[in-house]
Amino acid sequence: MAADLIDGKAFAADVRGRVATQVARLQEVHGITPGLAVVLVGEDPASQVYVKNKGIQTKEAGMASFEHKLDAGVAEADLLALIADLNADPVVHGILVQLPLPSHLDESLVINAIDPAKDVDGFHISNVGLLATGQKAMVPCTPLGCLMMLRDRHGDLSGMEAVVVGRSNIVGKPMAQLLLRDSCTVTIAHSRTKDIEDVVRRADIVIAAVGRAQMVPGDWIKPGATVIDVGINRIPAPEKGEGKTRLVGDVDFDSAAAVAGAITPVPGGVGPMTIACLLANTLTACCRANGLAEPEGLTA
């Protein structure tokens, strides 16, 4: 393996540590405790694990954690009423509604009911528009984490060729906006892109966020490029025994690592950065709500 490994676990621990330091300072100097409310509807096992981890890490950072668990069959009006209460609650600085929601609930109606200033996921249409127009927004956590890792490796990103593979609202599109804001030349590639391998081969920075296991092979990667793999896919692993599985990214790690300058592994790359950035966003939202300077190095 020629590439440097970008250790997302260590990076996320550092981000959480910096958040915790600034939270302690906020309390000491201003008597303010940032608070994050997480709303979970139903009992999806993966969502329950995410929400539990969010609660643990929020408390570890010294913030207040508020969990609201609602029945899978909750009426939309009741969920909207809870969001209205959280919007009005001064001890709540960040609100996250865990997705996906049960199918009888209108996801975009619910997300857009959140006060944009408390929208720590950055999914509210106002934040999407603010980001797209280069204004102060709440920025989606996973792309923010990728940006932090890229800035750490390269410092100034301006003039770099960046290719984002994938055009989701949660990762691909906001990632492209952030890279553009940092003055990269940005291409968004997707399932209909012609000669996608040539497009990816131009990139100094490759962000893979399509959700297809190992779809980006090493021979698509420009030698020395930085590869950020957002994918988390479970594939059969018969070598581990019958019926066993393992996690892989959207990049074929072994072949890409032989060519890239730096690469994130899966697991242990981008994944741990998402919750770390959620904490960073909650701190940012709290600082903004109180008219205080934003935390340095923890925003886009």
Cα distance between residue 45 and residue 35, in whole Å: 25
Shortest approach of ligand GUN to residue 141 CB, angstroms? 6
Which is the catalytic residue, given 119, 121, 204, 250? 121
> Quick check: is 194 catalytic?
no
Annotate 208-226 with DSSP letters as a single string.
E-S--TT-B-GGGSPTT-E
- Asked, as a colleague might, if the bond just before 100 is cis with ω within 30 of 0, I would say yes
The contact mask relative to ligand GUN for 265-284 (x = CB under 6 A, - = no) is ---------x----------
Catalytic residue among 57, 98, 177, 214: 98
Residue closer to ligand GUN (CB basis): 65 or 98: 98
59 is known as an active-site residue? no
Instruction: Measure the CA–CA gap between 248 and 147, rounded to whole angstroms.
Output: 21
Q: How far apart are CA 85 and CA 215, in angstroms?
A: 44
Nearer to ligand GUN, 171 or 200 (CB): 171
Site string for ligand GUN, 71-110 (x = CB under 6 A): -------------------------xxxx-----------
Residue 119 lies near ligand GUN (rule: CB under 6 A) = no
Residues 49-68 that bind ligand GUN (CB under 6 A): 50
Cβ-based nearer residue to ligand GUN, 141 or 163: 141
Tell me the HSE value of 131 on the side-chain side, using a 13 A CA sphere.
Answer: 28
Residues from 138 through 177 that contact ligand GUN (CB under 6 A)? 141
CB 100 → ligand GUN: shortest distance, Å? 7
In the complex, the smallest distance separating the C-beta of residue 118 from ligand GUN, rounded to whole angstroms, is: 13
How many chain residues touch ligand GUN (CB under 6 A)?
Answer: 8
Could you give the dihedral angle defined by the CA atoms of residues 228, 233, 236 and 240, in that order, rounded to the nearest 10 degrees? 60
Tell me the backbone φ, ψ of residue 61, rounded to 5 degrees: -80, 0
Q: Residue 115 is encoded by which pair of tokens? A: 């006060």
**Tokens at residue 257, please?**
């690592």
Minimum distance of ligand GUN from residue 121's CB (angstroms): 5
| Cβ-closest position to ligand GUN | 99
DSSP 21-88: HHHHHHHHHH----EEEEEEES--HHHHHHHHHHHHHHHHTT-EEEEEEE-TT--HHHHHHHHHHHHH
* Catalytic site residue from 22, 54, 119, 252: 54
- Residue whose CB is less far from ligand GUN, 87 or 193: 87
Query: Both tokens of residue 270?
Result: 């981008």
Q: Please, what is the minimum distance in Å from the beta carbon of residue 178 to ligand GUN? A: 16
Q: Which of 119, 121, 182, 250 binds ligand GUN (CB under 6 A)?
A: 121
Q: How many other CB atoms sit within 10 Å of the CB of residue 69?
A: 14
Other CB atoms closer than 10 Å to residue 57's CB: what's the count? 21
48 noted as active-site residue: no
Q: Which is closer to ligand GUN, CB of 36 or CB of 206?
A: 36
Give 101's DSSP letter. Answer: P
CB of 221 to ligand GUN, least distance (A): 27
Active site residues per annotation:
54, 98, 121
Query: Which residues of this protein are in contact with ligand GUN, per CB under 6 A?
Result: 50, 96-99, 121, 141, 274
